[in-house]
């Protein structure tokens, strides 16, 4: 029986859509996931993918035609099946599905890899996960989680010191660094243990070892015990992750006081001084933590501003806050060389046309990360890559059939939650589902003090793209809960499309910004307008009600600040 292709509801307020372009024509063979037609709403243009396999035997809605939600767009059926007088040409029958379970290999057990493995197992795959270090990858072991433990400890210390303002007198006797480190290890170990339990619960085989491609469907695995084995799979998903990049700065590799983010998480003692090379997320987060612990911190960033991908206005505000707390920040500054200076390290920095020397007990090299794909033997089997950065489409497919790749090894957005989302997409496609990765709702989070988060377009990006937009801003000084929590420091900023009033981007600097951004990501995913945000009642007193106030400000309807 023919399957109806219906007009989807692409947003909460959508009642109808316009057929702007048919990608497939009558008589075309379609597979699950193939794009059939482009639909235009009053906000955006979206693609409608096929949910069935067969032949497009009848197009009902012509290009330019308005169709209500759930209205019939077309029919998909079998060769020779007639709908409304239309008969499709016969097509070859699909190949029979291979008997037995689909075998799936996942290379890498980080937040991308282990999520991929679990999703593939849920879909009935026989899954083997190959991890060369520890389950949980960089994120759980030497990245996101241990960093947040240090940041939480530093935040707690700062709050204790400010308790007197709330009428609570507390004496800080010092910092037991060994206990801070013990807490970090305990949290990490508990989460890694949890991942191990999930592997067992989902009947996923875990191999400790290094994998490389012996052929397009076979992996040569060198196990930790030195033994080697060739394993063949129906599907292979690469989640190899990344490692810290080491810049070609003279003296860095030779100096024991120069560490990457992994080393900075495990200092034996709190350093008296720390120079951070790199003003990205990793550098700024660790600079924030150690500054709170009493370390004299200097940040050197080669670009014109910190956190280049974040909203410029809020980044400038964050910089002022950091500098007010004693962190020295230099932008448009380049480290020329590093050299020993007794027990300390001298860092020579070119800034303002002159070279200045800075002494620091420790130097954190945080200039970014690079893909960890060297051992995979990609070129030998023809997997397309750019110097180790693997190329994929929006289904996470490489150019080699049945081989997928996700996460940091793509060399694009190196975030744990992106890797996890891409992993689910890859697993679903590998196991016969139809899934597409869309990064529009991907939030960026920086765990500074206050927190900084953003999703969608920044003001700078919207200008670069030539998009007409308006801005709504609400200072958290006018929000009661923020005033209680951190003195009202920070701001919420909306980027709204000028014509259709759709939410293009939201950026938050303030308490719990990394939690608040979830609502804003959902708004972008649902193609919500500023009116949708305004129409949603937000609880009081909360920081999240400031999200609605910023939306109101975009319409010059703000209640708790004057409208300009």
Catalytic residue list: 540
SS3 of residue 437 by DSSP = coil
- Decide if 397 contacts 434 (C-beta within 8 A): no
Q: Which residues contact 422 (CB under 8 A, 6 or more apart)?
A: 112, 396, 406, 407, 410, 437
Radius of gyration of the chain from Cα atoms?
27
Q: How far is CA 468 from CA 41, 45, 501, in A?
A: 18, 17, 10
| Rounded-to-integer distance, Cα 463 and Cα 455, Å | 16
For 238-266, b where at least 16 C-beta lie within 10 A, e where not — what string? bbbbbebeeeebebbeebebbbbbebbbe
Q: Which residue has the tokens 């290379």?
A: 107
Residue 494 Cα to chain centre, angstroms: 20
Cis peptide before 272 (omega within 30 of 0): no
Give me the residue label for tokens 């900023």: 493
34 backbone dihedrals φ, ψ, rounded to 5°: -65, 140
Whether the Cβ atoms of residue 235 and residue 103 lie closer than 8 Å to each other: yes
> Hey, what are 326's tokens?
């004693």
């Amino acid at each position: 029986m023919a399957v109806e292709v219906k007009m989807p509801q692409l947003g909460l307020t959508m009642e109808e859509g316009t057929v702007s372009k048919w990608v497939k024509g009558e008589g075309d063979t379609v597979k699950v996931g193939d794009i059939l037609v482009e639909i235009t709403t009053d906000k955006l243009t979206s693609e409608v993918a096929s949910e069935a396999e067969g032949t497009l035997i009848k197009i009902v809605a012509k290009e330019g035609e308005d169709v209500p939600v759930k209205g019939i767009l077309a029919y998909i059926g079998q060769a020779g099946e007639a709908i409304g007088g239309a008969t499709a040409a016969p097509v070859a029958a699909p190949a029979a599905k291979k008997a037995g379970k689909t075998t799936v290999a996942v290379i890498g057990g980080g937040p991308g890899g282990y999520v991929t493995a679990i999703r593939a197992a849920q879909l009935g795959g026989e899954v083997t996960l190959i991890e060369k270090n520890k389950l949980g990858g960089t994120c759980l072991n030497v990245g996101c989680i241990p960093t947040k433990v240090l940041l939480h400890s530093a935040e707690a210390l700062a709050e204790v010191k400010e308790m007197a303002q709330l009428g609570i007198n507390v004496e800080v006797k010092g910092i037991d660094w060994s206990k801070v480190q013990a807490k970090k290890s305990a949290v990490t170990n508990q989460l890694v243990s949890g991942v191990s339990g999930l592997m067992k619960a989902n009947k996923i085989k875990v191999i400790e070892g290094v994998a490389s491609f012996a052929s397009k469907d076979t992996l040569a695995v060198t196990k930790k015990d030195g033994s080697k084995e060739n394993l063949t799979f129906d599907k292979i998903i690469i989640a190899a992750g990344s490692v810290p990049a080491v810049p070609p700065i003279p003296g860095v590799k030779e100096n024991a006081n120069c560490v990457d983010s992994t080393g900075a998480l495990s200092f034996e003692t709190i350093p008296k001084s720390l120079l951070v090379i790199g003003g990205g997320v990793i550098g700024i987060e660790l600079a924030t933590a150690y500054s709170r612990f009493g370390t004299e911190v200097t940040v050197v960033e080669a670009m014109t501003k910190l956190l280049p991908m974040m909203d410029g206005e809020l980044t400038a505000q964050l910089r002022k806050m950091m500098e007010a707390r004693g962190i020295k920040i230099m932008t448009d500054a380049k480290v020329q060389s590093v050299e020993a200076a007794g027990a300390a390290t001298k860092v020579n920095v070119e800034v303002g046309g002159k070279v200045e020397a800075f002494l620091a007990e420790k130097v954190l090299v945080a200039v970014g990360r690079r893909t960890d794909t060297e051992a995979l033997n990609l070129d030998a089997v023809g997997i397309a890559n750019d110097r180790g950065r693997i190329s994929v489409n929006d289904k996470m497919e490489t150019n080699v059939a049945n081989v997928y790749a996700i996460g940091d090894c793509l060399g694009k957005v190196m975030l744990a939650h992106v890797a996890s989302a891409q992993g689910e997409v890859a697993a679903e496609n590998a196991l016969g589902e139809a899934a597409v990765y869309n990064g529009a709702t991907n939030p960026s989070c920086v765990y500074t003090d206050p927190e900084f988060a953003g999703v969608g377009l920044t003001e700078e990006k919207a200008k670069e793209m030539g998009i007409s937009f308006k801005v709504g801003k609400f200072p958290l000084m006018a929000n009661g809960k923020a005033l209680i929590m951190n003195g009202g420091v920070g701001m919420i900023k909306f980027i709204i499309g000028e014509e259709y009033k759709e939410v293009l981007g939201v950026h938050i600097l303030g308490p719990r910004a990394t939690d608040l951004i979830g609502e804003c990501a959902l708004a972008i995913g649902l193609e919500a307008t500023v009116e949708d945000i305004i129409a949603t009642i937000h609880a009081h007193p909360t920081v999240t009600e400031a999200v609605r106030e910023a939306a109101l400000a975009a319409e010059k309807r703000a209640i708790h600040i004057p409208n300009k």
